[in-house]
Structure 1
Amino acid sequence: MVLNREMTLHFLSSHKTTILTEWKERLKHLSDGYIEYFEEEIEKILNSLMKQLKNTDTNIDDMLKDLGEKISAGRVKQHLNMDMFFSITSTGRSIIIDQFLAYEAIKGELSAVIHQINAYFDKLIYFALSSYTDLKTKQVAEQYQLINPNHKDRLTLLGQMTSSFVHEFRNPLTSIMGFIQLLQAEQPEIKYLDIISKELDQLNYRITQFLNLSKRETDTTQNEIFPIAPLVDEVIEFLYPSILEVNATVSCNIEGDAQLAGSKEEFRQVLLNIILNALDVVTETPNPSIDISGSVASGFLTLNISNNGPKIPSEVLPSIFEPFITTKKRGTGLGLFVCKEIILKHQGTLTCHSTDFLTTFSIRVKTKS
């Protein structure tokens, strides 16, 4: 076993650069904007494996538990799920084992070496996942503690006021929308009726959206398979009056004909919330622009919605998807929280990256083949 350990360590040391190069190369299509973070992570994993082989008196469980806790803490801080961690460890395990399979000098003890490597990665995954689960549970508990009894009372009162307000407001709104439709049919030559109709549709939608925030999720949500590109076009057309008001340039380029499975209306709500937020922040920006791009790779759609508004402060960015966090004077802090919940419900991810020049919201969700 000593010979086996020494030969294994020697092989890893001499092939470390080759292993890391191939490992990083395979991660490029998985990085999703975090390539430097993942590159640091895989170096820690490989160095830890070599350290474990070098120090025979080290308790591997203690060492891997410590590494797993650091990895999970980093992912919670970066708002990353553990699915990418599984891809990273599986890729690294395969590369290292493939390298050993071609190593003639150790063929007689190959089985023991592979067992060693598998034990290392299995335990690392176990400790990292356990720690990540504990941290996320604690984080959720802390977030819900923010909603103190006084805040709950305010939300209850807000819900009651909203219900009363909508009944008082929606009836005349419906009548106005009906009369506009009659005018469009009877006197289509009247200018601006289309704009008025779309503005009323937006107002009606926002009232409905506000109401939905106070409702508990039900099982009546209609799931379907739908193409994403036409839905984005519908949302842009729906928001045209707001786009015109801000005088923003909106470009859209979605590759292919990706289809998603889930609630089309919920995805519509996500797109509306993010694009409306973008329109709000570019109001005072010279040459305001919003760029929407989509691409499909490895069975996943990545949809990026970018705007050239002000940078989101670095101290605020990690919290923008939490409830009641907002940078707007009159914002509720619930829009992005709802978006995140909807995307998570569809087994996807929603992230944000912000610089002095561009803020990008990235949706990554599995496509339906």
Structure 2
Amino acid sequence: MNSVIPAPIARQPWQMLIPLFILVGFGGAVLYSAGGGNFQPFASSHLLRFAIFMIMACIMVWFSRDVVKFAAYPVYALVLVMLVGVEAMGAIKGGSQRWLEFGGLRIQPSELMKPVIVLALAQFYSSLPAGMIGSWRAIAPAGALVAAPVALVLLQPDLGTSLAIVFCGVVVMFLAGLPMKWFVGGGLVGAVAVPLAYFFALQDYQQRRVTTFLDPESDPLGSGYHITQSKIAIGSGGLSGKGFNEGSQSHLNYLPEPHTDFVFATMAEEWGLLGGLLVLLIFGLIMSWGLQVARTAHDRFAKLLAAGMVATMFFYVAINLMMVMGLAPVVGIPLPFMSHGGSSMMTNMICIGTLMMINRWNREQKRSGFI
């Protein structure tokens, strides 16, 4: 086959790219339906954004290890400055101040911080001597790297993104080999802090999200409306769904945000359980490939970076699916590669581009004999 297919095409990771293209195309079909049977305004921009960010990912593939390691802290500092800029002059939308606007371009720096915190921590732990992993020098600087953006994102306020940054940071710390007692201690502190945070740190609308999660039927037409309608849409799809472009919950405007946070409910109503299983299968294929890239990486930096990028995508998928099925509070986390939204597409394509880049590093090192 190598004599028929050009080498640059043959060596691409098609075991990941083909499922990814199928998922994005399926997402475009769901957004076509969410738009009332029109490519505008959701499906066309979704596919265009993917094409643009796919080009970005292909460019990222050619970055060298030295360049990426050198850029880790400067990129982290740049995104942190952008988060400060959000507080100073950020655009307000839906009651939250999360965006920076440059002409016609709108950027959400908190989304960029998800993969960037993985990059910064991977560089930190790859340069930390092995003998210091069990000391405070392994946790204090890393904790500061995580705490600074989390504090700024909480001011926006954006609890979901804050949790995502913490999750990605903790995953990299765990994989770096920090003592288990620190994670157990952190879990105990978190268990004590959660009720205190609920009463003294969360805003009123965030408290309502928690109570709604615990008992959505208590206010089905108010705070529980989103999750109630999502459950109805998913349940009404049955095994094979109502049919493409035949969803009543989204078309009759019962389901809020059918093209963003609740796109899975839109899909499940029309494609049923079989459609949902297909989506889960594709995500499984993409992430299993990402974990394989992490396992076959030849140095600590690449392993931590690849695993952290998989963790970032996993957080998106897990929280979104739990949210739309009533297993987690509604925190505004979109579904990767299916939800309409430029910021989430950018973040997840950065993860894909980083994994493709590390896959190239692995291939080149294998070819050089460093196995």
TM-score (norm. length: structure 1): 0.28
TM-score (norm. length: structure 2): 0.28
Q: Tell which structure's C-alpha radius of gyration is larger.
A: 1
The structure whose residues are more often strand, as a share, is 1
The structure whose residues are more often helix, as a share, is 2
Pick 1 or 2: higher relative contact order, CA cutoff 8 A, min separation 6: 2
